[in-house]
Amino acid sequence: MVSVISVAKNKQPHQTPKSKNRNYTLGKLSTLNDFFSASIFPFPIPSFSIILRPMQPDLFSTTLTVSQLTFRIRKLLEDNPELQDVWVTGEISNLSRPASGHIYFTLKDKNASLRCVMWKTEALRTRPNLQEGAAVEVHGKIAVYEPQGQYQLIASLIQAKGEGVLFQEFSRLKAMLEAEGLFDPERKRPIPELPQKIGIITSATGAALRDMLNTIRRRLPLAHVILAPSPVQGIEAPPALVKAIQSLNLQSPDVILLARGGGSIEDLWAFNDERVVRAVVDSKAPIISGVGHETDFTLCDFAADLRAPTPTAAAELATQTTLDDLHFQLSTYQSRLTDLISGLLADQKAFLSAVASRLKYVSPERRILSEYQHLDELSRRAFSALHHRIQLHSASVDGISKRLQALNPEGVLARGYAIITRKSDGKVVGKVSQAQGEMNVRVSDGEFEVHRGLDTALRKT
């Protein structure tokens, strides 16, 4: 048989704090027995079951190994959201910084002690200043180191004692201003890519000013810088920062850099002042906030139009277009302009060539030359036609000549014939009866006369 006893939640009334984070002294986290005690923790404990052995041995009873029990305890601790977001106050002891980069230490007060560890990534990000015996406030979550069966605090933030009050005030102001819409992304303005006038609000003697001026001089020496010096920490800092923002806006800068170097939360508190935050929101010129180091956040960072992790980064964000970029753009524009002009000239040259061709086509000179050519063609055709006509007539004349030559009496005479004509009337004698009197006889080589009497003619007949 297995007996199961259920441990119910603590039913005693308690008050739930408004904040999600809970602060505990070491006495409240000293032992596991205290953890299971409902009178110590003001929050409900999840119900769980404890398996007890029966009074009589049972071959089928179930037992837990040390690992299993430790795992269950770890689940109880690490699944409880109240223990995963806690602030613990105490003094540092047994501080150890091995070569791995992790930080091991113990928090203690007069009644209890708590083992703590900060992993290397968090240590590099926050860079806590820890000393033996220092009173600190540690934020983290409760976990169990199973090989030794010990619970410990995994630290994510370590700050000097008293900073927790400032953090609570920071959270209160942030919630209030955020509810008013001062941090809305919609109201943030774009940063000009090529500012001509840059305003700087920072300490006149701090290293942040030198870094920003060197950055601006290196990246964009053409920009005009206006400095509005102001204290950046202390009681006099908030009104001085507000006045500096207002006075710079009278100079109509393109962008304003609000910056200072790193420091503790007390050193940076002026940039969490409500007056300064509202002045940042009311600024006519866009503001880049570069306060502290990369891990430092102030309310001015949320209200500014752009947040930079460092003052140097703020100067870089204000000079998005550098002198090298301008040289490159000018070179690009020059190349593009040269190409455009060359292309335009080529197009115009082709256009002019086409127009010149069209003008030549319709020009009087072309018309005259064309008419000359046409006249030459007509002359050639006329000459050809005339020559052909002459050849035809020549052939016709030759034919007629040959025909005439064939009919020429002289030709007949050359063959032995003669032409006899009467001398009295010149008629040709074609019959014997006509041959009488004086007659002229024509032969091929000349003429002679003959006479024929009438009696001769009659006798002949």
* Among 23-27, 87-91, 134-138, 329-333, the least confident range: 23-27
CB 223 within 8 A of CB 198: yes
pLDDT band for position 456 (50/70/90)? low
At a CB cut-off of 8 Å and minimum separation 6, what does 131 contact?
92, 95
As beta bridge partners, residue 7 has 48
The CA radius of gyration of the chain, in Å to the nearest whole number, is 64
- CA-to-CA distance for 125 and 156, rounded, in angstroms? 9
Q: Find the DSSP H helices in 284-407.
A: 299-303, 311-318, 323-362, 364-407
Superfamily of domain 167-321: Succinyl-CoA synthetase domains (3.40.50.261)
pLDDT band for position 31 (50/70/90)? very low
At a CB cut-off of 8 Å and minimum separation 6, what does 444 contact?
410, 413, 414
Of 270, 54, 291, 20, which Cα lies nearest the Cα of 141?
20
pLDDT band for position 454 (50/70/90)? low
pLDDT confidence of residue 359: 77
pLDDT band for position 165 (50/70/90)? low
pLDDT band for position 23 (50/70/90)? low
Residue that wins the pLDDT comparison between 9 and 246: 246
As beta bridge partners, residue 153 has 116, 142
Count of alpha carbons within 13 Å of 218, Cβ hemisphere only? 9
Length of the chain: 461
Of 83, 82, 99, 74, which Cα lies nearest the Cα of 153?
83
Which of 14-18, 50-54, 158-162, 290-294 has the highest average model confidence (pLDDT)?
290-294
For residue 272, pLDDT over 60 is answered with yes
pLDDT confidence of residue 286: 96
Fold classified for 3-157: OB fold (Dihydrolipoamide Acetyltransferase, E2P) (2.40.50)
What is the number of other CB atoms lying within 10 angstroms of the CB of residue 87?
18
In the predicted model, what is the mean pLDDT of residues 361-373? 79
Residue that wins the pLDDT comparison between 425 and 210: 210
For residue 198, pLDDT over 90 is answered with yes
Classify the phi-psi angles of 93: left when phi > 0, otherwise alpha if psi is within -120 to 50, otherwise beta.
beta
Percent of the chain scoring above 70 in pLDDT: 84
pLDDT confidence of residue 28: 46
pTM across the whole model: 0.47
Residue type, 264: S
pLDDT confidence of residue 47: 38
